[in-house]
Amino acid sequence: MEVSEKLTWIELDKKHFFHPSSSIKDSYEKGPVVFMERGEGIYIYDADGKEYVDGLSSLWNVNVGHGRKELAESASEQMKKLAYTHSFSRFSHKPAVQLAEKIASLAPGDLSVVHFTSGGSESNDSAFKIARHYFKLKGQSQRFKIIARDRAYHGVSMGATSATGLSIFRELGGPLAAGFIHASAPYSYRCEECKPECKGDCAIESIYDLIEQEGAETIAAIIIEPVQGAGGVIIPPPDYIKAVRKICDKFGILMIADEVITGFGRTGKWFGIEHEGVVPDMITFAKGVTSGYIPLGGVVISERIYRELVEHSNQNFAHGFTYSGHPAACAVALKNIEIITNEKLVENAAGMGILLQQGLEKIKNELDIVGNVMSRGLLGHIEIVKDKTSKEAFSSSHKVASQITEQAFEYGLITRPIMYNNTDIIAICPPLIINEQQINQLLD
């Protein structure tokens, strides 16, 4: 792009575009960092033609990689036939039914009934409302509280923000929704309680403590990300998630797995919860279901919960979005799932994930400032520390993770800094189509 043309775009951007999740001041005063123009495979190109490895699958979502014409064509075909119809009041259409059936066939256990939304935040808000409605119908209106966890990210709508455990999202101003409480995150590397080694017992204890404090009869659901993401890619210790399931069973609490990042192959299985051998009562999904080509999300609920809802239901379930189950989005999702299946991308994520993990371990062994690395499938992180032995972090004023990702960007790699509670983490989450040579390129 010519310099003069670029300046015009920057000025227009500064004047008219209120950017999501960005510094308002920097957006207004400095303008955008980059104008992205096109994508191909794991690469994305800016308006000057510079190539970047998309090391975060953009926002953890472009699972099948960029530039998939089949996905554009599936949207185009559906739009030409019927671009939009709603599915309120028992209206229906084939793409939504086909997609619901497909997702039911992929989801674990008896998770088989799908309520569609347009993204992850809406999916989590929907799951909270379904959980609360379920207990209301069963005559337990006092069961409305939701347990989430520190470092969790569940989105930015009011319910999802209330469940999110990252203060920067919670403190924009004014009160959040009532009834959301937080247990500890199972981040063993940063645990100061369990000696000599944290196996996640303290994080489980913190859930028990909350239940005792609040009363089990007031808790509707516990929401967990099978692998945490935006608060640091935290792989829970073995058996931690089984223990959460046990707590839910013991106290009659519903278990919600937020698979907005981990769903659709990211961790080397269709759903991240499958690594744990437990079946939640609901799974929320978005991102990877369409690989980000078009907005879509949803909640898969168990047949058991659905049957109970049917049995007790006495009124309209007055909750649904205009774009719940958008026909074109459903068509894209079906094609996207077909690509993931035909190209064996879940298996590829598992195989390439092993190389990623080995590469991250090597980086940890070679570099004094890398304190910890974690990964599952193609989802991982690197934690930067000042002192490897004491795990002392750099001062937050140094913004080390930010500096490193800015430098990586200059080299042509897009990643994401996570700076929470004085920890410096760099997230890695490349498209599932990545091959061995590209994994090495990313690691180099």
Q: Which residues bind ligand PLP (CB under 6 A)?
A: 60, 119-121, 124, 153-155, 225, 229-230, 258, 260-261, 286
3-state secondary structure of 375: strand
Closest residue to bound ligand PLP by CB: 120
Alpha helices in 325-370 (DSSP H): 327-342, 345-366
Query: At its nearest, how many Å lie between ligand PLP and the CB of residue 172?
Result: 15
> Are β-strands 145-149 and 219-224 bridged in parallel, bridged antiparallel, or unpaired?
parallel
**Angle, CA 209 vertex, CA 206 and CA 214 arms, to 5°:** 130
> Are β-strands 254-258 and 282-285 bridged in parallel, bridged antiparallel, or unpaired?
parallel
Q: Between 127 and 247, whose beta carbon lies closer to ligand PLP?
A: 127
Query: At its nearest, how many Å lie between ligand PLP and the CB of residue 386?
Result: 28
Query: At its nearest, how many Å lie between ligand PLP and the CB of residue 81?
Result: 27
- Of 362, 334, 383, 79, nearest to 234 by C-alpha is 383
DSSP for 71-83, written as a single string: HHHHHHHHHHHHS
Q: Between 130 and 261, whose beta carbon lies closer to ligand PLP?
A: 261
Do residues 414 and 56 touch, judged by C-beta distance below 8 A? yes
Q: Between 120 and 380, whose beta carbon lies closer to ligand PLP?
A: 120
Spatial distance between the Cα atoms of 3 and 385, rounded to a whole number of angstroms: 39
Residue 233: both structure tokens together: 């890619």
Query: At its nearest, how many Å lie between ligand PLP and the CB of residue 258?
Result: 5
Query: At its nearest, how many Å lie between ligand PLP and the CB of residue 124?
Result: 6
Q: Between 143 and 164, whose beta carbon lies closer to ligand PLP?
A: 164
Query: At its nearest, how many Å lie between ligand PLP and the CB of residue 429?
Result: 10
Spatial distance between the Cα atoms of 94 and 328, rounded to a whole number of angstroms: 11
Query: At its nearest, how many Å lie between ligand PLP and the CB of residue 103?
Result: 17
Query: At its nearest, how many Å lie between ligand PLP and the CB of residue 137?
Result: 26
Name the helix (H) or strand (E) containing 417.
Answer: strand 416-420
Q: Between 258 and 371, whose beta carbon lies closer to ligand PLP?
A: 258
**Angle, CA 86 vertex, CA 336 and CA 310 arms, to 5°:** 95
Q: Between 133 and 287, whose beta carbon lies closer to ligand PLP?
A: 287
Query: At its nearest, how many Å lie between ligand PLP and the CB of residue 225?
Result: 5
Q: Between 124 and 126, whose beta carbon lies closer to ligand PLP?
A: 124
Q: Between 143 and 154, whose beta carbon lies closer to ligand PLP?
A: 154
Q: Between 87 and 117, whose beta carbon lies closer to ligand PLP?
A: 117
- Of 293, 313, 306, 284, nearest to 116 by C-alpha is 284
Spatial distance between the Cα atoms of 277 and 264, rounded to a whole number of angstroms: 17
- Of 205, 35, 219, 216, nearest to 145 by C-alpha is 219
Residue 237 DSSP symbol: P
Name the helix (H) or strand (E) containing 13.
Answer: helix 3-16
Report the C-alpha dihedral over residues 236, 195, 164, 270, rounded to 10 degrees. Answer: 0
